[in-house]
Amino acid sequence: MNKHSVPRCDDLPDRTPTGALVENVDLVIVRFGDAVSAFYGRCLHRGVMLSDGLNGHNLICGVHNWGYRVDTGISAYVNDEKLPKFNAWIEGGDVLVDTDEIKQWKQENPQPYDRKGYLGQYADLMVPTKNPARLHHHALGRVIIRLLGPSEKLTNRQLN
């Protein structure tokens, strides 16, 4: 076991997801009072950072609103699907994870994100032609850009 400190317990708001990068693997850390959980930090479908979204008791994918229980990592929609969970604990106020466990997981699940490349950790690695709904979103996006221009910043109010 090789201990690695992620944000200190006092720095983690209760029941609020916080991102951490350990061994080039994105994690999402959640504190529940005196306990902590550490999950793989990306949506299993779209690769979106899950530390960016919370809705009630679910970590939410910002691309397609898929949810994972914030306490167990189990999908809110398909109970057989769950985020990989890593050992995490509090010691002397530090939240610790085991880098050996994370390294082992990473060997079995190589991470494709080029953090120095275009879009870096936010790159959408899903090939558009493999998902019909995704093709529709791309087409809709092209129409919006044609109508409003590529530099226009859209808000929900403009789209409704």
Between β-strands 58-60 and 67-69, what pairing exists: parallel, antiparallel or unpaired?
antiparallel
Q: Counting Cβ atoms within 10 Å, is residue 88 exposed (0-12), middle (13-18) or buried (19+)?
A: buried
Distance CA 139, CA 116 (A): 28
pLDDT at 39 over 90: yes
**How far apart are the two ends of the chain, measured CA to CA in Å?**
52
Q: Going from the N-terminus, what domains does the chain have, and what CATH number goes with each?
A: 3-108 (2.102.10.10), 127-159 (no CATH)
Residue 153 pLDDT: 47
Residue 115 pLDDT: 72
Residue 145 pLDDT: 62
78-119 per-position pLDDT tens digit: 888 999 999 999 999 999 999 999 999 999 998 887 777 666
41-77 per-position pLDDT tens digit: 988 887 888 888 777 788 888 778 888 988 889 998 8
Is residue 39 a contact partner of residue 73, using CB atoms and an 8 Å limit? Answer: yes
Quickly state the pLDDT bin for 124 (edges 50, 70, 90).
low
Report the 10 Å Cβ neighbour count for 109.
11
Residue 113 pLDDT: 77
The mean predicted confidence, pLDDT, of the chain is 80
Q: What is the pTM of this model?
A: 0.74
Report the 10 Å Cβ neighbour count for 19.
17
